[in-house]
Amino acid sequence: MKFSKFFFYRRKITSAVMMSLSLVATLIAIIPLILIFYYTISKGITYLNFDFFVAMPKPVGESGGGMANAIVGTLMLIGIGGAIGIPVGVMAGTYLSEFGNNKFGSTVRFFTDVLSGIPSIVVGVVAYTLIVVPMKHFSGLAGGVALGILMIPTITRTTEEMIKLVPHSLREAGLALGIPKWKTTILIVLKTAWKGIATGILLGLSRAAGETAPLLFTALGNRFWSTNVMQPMASLTVYIYDYAKSPFEDWNNQAWTAALVLILMISVLSLLFKVITRSKYKTK
Amino acid sequence: MVISENQINNENPEYKKQKPVSPTVVFFRKLFFTQNLGDFFFERLTLLFAVLVFLLVMLMGYEMYQGSKISIDKFGWSFLSNSVWDPVQEIYGALPIIYGTIVSSFLALVLSVPLSIGIAIFLSELAPDWLEKPLSFLVELLAGIPSVVYGLWGIFVLVPWIRTDVEPFLSEHLGFLPFFRGAPYGFGMLAAVLILAIMVLPIVSAISRDILRSVPQSQREAALALGATRWQSTKIVLKDARSGILGATMLGLGRAVGETMAVTMVIGNRAMISPSLFDPSYTMASVIANEFTEASSEMYLSALIQLALVLFIITIIINAFAKLLVWSMERKLKTR
């Protein structure tokens, strides 16, 4: 009797200890998150002013100035990336869900996963050899292409998953009315799934907005106003990198502000993402 | 309606005597006999884009092989085993860089995987719904922060803290070990390991949580009904999920190996092999990020592209392995 009591309590105590350890692990993981947010917001907000959004960067040694060119540059770069990544991703995803139930389909699926695991810096190297080397100079176009490649796997997989959620009865209804399959797919299936696909696209865009490594030697960065995609182009992330490494305190502080603005941009994108997914589940 | 080969064969016995037709003939036959040209082209158009994804990966490998040809011809396999990286004398050996990559990613995983499993257990087995949702959102938020922001935080918060508090403390109390010797710079392997651990954490814990959730509820109920405690039922769940969790760990490893910006900003960037965690080091990704625009000679550039090729191959192997593990876990659960 006493023995069984002993084992009973030992089991109870082990369970309580292990389960509270899992709580401790969660708390430990939250600490760096809170610290990162705290520093980005508290340090970034002190230099956040209207100038940051409209003024150009000042030359070395002068304080003040903004990053108007970098904000526009980041938007243009993810625009170019989207122009490449969205059509490829959506079409490939459509193929995988509608026609991809074969060996080739699973090969493509596997390669999409491989592509999503390739480090962004490697994609940057490829964009360099593909575009920068033949053009003989750095360009926004090369940076945009690199970002586009990085978006493809996210958009492809989300599109496939979302199209698969569309009930079969909808397709059958369309086909039964004599609508050709391609029209059924575009007008009925894709239209039903577009909200989910849009979330995938937003996710891809917001990830691309935070990428630095593939831009370092493709879009390079630019201290002047430039919207020419054939020329080097500024971006917020590369500015953060350069300013964080610089010895000037003013630049270091601006790096924090740039980080805050970048996170705000990404949050707006993911907020859109949340809103879209929520309305989707409500209508269901 | 498309007339398929089989139907023709079944209805007309004469067709059976014919030789198998070539794919080109099949293509044109389908094109002419199809009832709806739109269907025909739509399928092939989407196929084209799917092939594009496939070709893209191939093209990446090919481009990097072409770009690194000079270096591959000169150094061959010794590129991986030579420990001198000297751009001035045009000698490129990646051993210290590979060492830095392996040590930093491995130690980061050692720190973050147990924590991640703890988080996954908490989120899937313990946390009530109202707590679990915001926590999951936080973990996903952590995954969405750009790596350059981690690097920024690393330079101005983590590195000073390591320099003034962590490294003096470690060398005072554990200084008899070779891992904790040397001058406390702050920038170095230790900073890189910590920042990588923070960055890998959300990915591994998010995937592990999904995997623990995919274990059927009946497993837990059966264990609890037999009088098992929470921890005992969790152990059973973990046993079911172990290959999936290993897969999640491998995905985290892939991420750690390829992580560029944050590591470049805190690791100190010097190609050296040192047991001490206080010393600066280098990883493959950070060498490329740091030196690519400075590469003045063709050989230098070629060596850097070869490094990218090695990184490409390593991450493909890691990710394929991870994928296989997660697949095998899913299949096991399905057949049950």
Cα separation, A233 vs A226, in Å, equals 6
The average pLDDT across A96-106 equals: 87
- pLDDT of residue B11 exceeding 70, the answer is no
The average pLDDT across A69-97 equals: 92
Residues B254-269: pLDDT tens digits?
A: 999 999 999 999 998 8
Name the amino acid, one letter, at A159: T
- pLDDT of residue A284 exceeding 50, the answer is no
Residues B184-231: pLDDT tens digits?
A: 888 989 999 999 999 999 889 888 988 898 888 898 999 999 988 889
* A212·B42 Cβ contact <8 A: no
Task: Give the ranges where chain A is alpha helix by DSSP (H).
Answer: 2-46, 50-54, 68-98, 103-117, 120-127, 133-135, 140-165, 168-176, 181-183, 190-209, 236-245, 249-283
- pLDDT of residue A255 exceeding 50, the answer is yes
**Which chain B residue is nearest to residue A89, measuring alpha carbons?**
B49
Q: Is residue A123 part of a domain?
A: yes
- pLDDT of residue B18 exceeding 70, the answer is no
Which of the 8 DSSP states describes residue B236?
A: H
- pLDDT of residue A227 exceeding 90, the answer is no
Burial class from Cβ neighbours inside 10 Å (0-12, 13-18, 19+) for residue A235 reads buried
Give contacts of A126 with chain B, Cβ < 8 Å.
59-60, 63-64, 308
Least confident interval from A179-193, A256-270, B10-24, B89-103: B10-24
Helix (H, G, I), strand (E, B) or coil at A234: coil
Domain span including residue A73: 53-283
Q: What is the pLDDT of residue A241?
A: 92
CB B241 within 8 A of CB B197: no
- pLDDT of residue B35 exceeding 80, the answer is no
Name the amino acid, one letter, at B90: E
CB A36 within 8 A of CB A248: no
CB B263 within 8 A of CB B283: yes
Q: What is the pLDDT of residue B133?
A: 82
Cβ neighbours around B6 below 10 Å, total: 8
Q: Is residue A131 part of a domain?
A: yes
Share of chain B above pLDDT 70, in %: 93
Mutation pick from A34, A74, A98, A114 vs chain B, by most beta carbons of B within 10 Å, is A114
Q: Is residue A47 part of a domain?
A: no
Q: How near does any CA of chain B get to the CA of A95, in Å?
A: 5
By Cβ distance, the residue of A88, A182, A206 closest to B49 is: A88
Residues B312-334: pLDDT tens digits?
A: 999 999 988 888 888 887 777 76
The domain tally of chain A equals 1
Q: How near does any CA of chain B get to the CA of A55, in Å?
A: 22
Q: How much is the mean pLDDT over chain A?
A: 87
Backbone angles phi, psi at B3, to 5 degrees: -85, 115
Give contacts of A206 with chain B, Cβ < 8 Å.
144
Dmax over Cα atoms in chain B, in whole Å? 91
* B230·A15 Cβ contact <8 A: yes
Q: What is the pLDDT of residue B12?
A: 57
Distances (CA, A) of A114 to A3, A144, A211, B228: 55, 21, 18, 41
**Which chain A residue is nearest to residue B253, measuring alpha carbons?**
A117
Q: How near does any CA of chain B get to the CA of A227, in Å?
A: 22
CATH number, domain B75-335 = 1.10.3720.10
Closest CA to A208 of A254, A270, A252: A270
Residues B121-132: pLDDT tens digits?
A: 998 888 888 888
Q: How much is the mean pLDDT over chain B?
A: 86
**Which chain B residue is nearest to residue A238, measuring alpha carbons?**
B148
Q: What is the pLDDT of residue B284?
A: 92
* B38·A182 Cβ contact <8 A: yes
Mutation pick from A4, A30, A95, A133 vs chain B, by most beta carbons of B within 10 Å, is A95
- pLDDT of residue A66 exceeding 90, the answer is no
The average pLDDT across A129-144 equals: 90
- pLDDT of residue B238 exceeding 50, the answer is yes
Q: Is residue A40 part of a domain?
A: no
Backbone angles phi, psi at A53, to 5 degrees: -85, -25
CATH number at residue A99: 1.10.3720.10
Return the axis-axis angle of helices A140-165 and A120-127, rounded to nearest 10°. 130
Q: How near does any CA of chain B get to the CA of A8, in Å?
A: 10
Distances (CA, A) of B319 to A5, B26, B228, B260: 48, 38, 36, 17
The average pLDDT across A14-38 equals: 89
Name the amino acid, one letter, at A84: I
Give contacts of B118 with chain A, Cβ < 8 Å.
21-22, 24-26
Which of the 8 DSSP states describes residue B186?
A: S
Size of interface A-B (CB pairs under 8 A): 261
Cα separation, A266 vs A244, in Å, equals 20
Q: Which residues contact B246 (CB under 8 A, 6 or more apart)?
A: B325
Q: How near does any CA of chain B get to the CA of A28, in Å?
A: 8
Task: Give the model's confidence band at B1: pLDDT under 50 very low, under 70 low, under 90 confident, else very high.
Answer: very low
Give contacts of B285 with chain A, Cβ < 8 Å.
119, 121, 213
Give this complex's ipTM.
0.88
Q: What is the pLDDT of residue B222?
A: 92
Cα separation, B279 vs B268, in Å, equals 8
Q: What is the pLDDT of residue A282?
A: 47
Cβ neighbours around B301 below 10 Å, total: 22
Instruction: Output A152 or B24, whichever has higher pLDDT.
Output: A152
Task: Give the model's confidence band at B85: pLDDT under 50 very low, under 70 low, under 90 confident, else very high.
Answer: confident
Place of tokens 């269907």: B39
By Cβ distance, the residue of A87, A117, A262 closest to B315 is: A117
Least confident interval from A179-183, A275-279, B67-71, B277-281: A275-279
Domain ranges, ordered by start, for chain B: 5-59, 75-335
Q: What is the pLDDT of residue B293?
A: 85
Share of chain B above pLDDT 90, in %: 38
Q: How near does any CA of chain A get to the CA of B14, in Å?
A: 31
Cα separation, A113 vs A162, in Å, equals 17
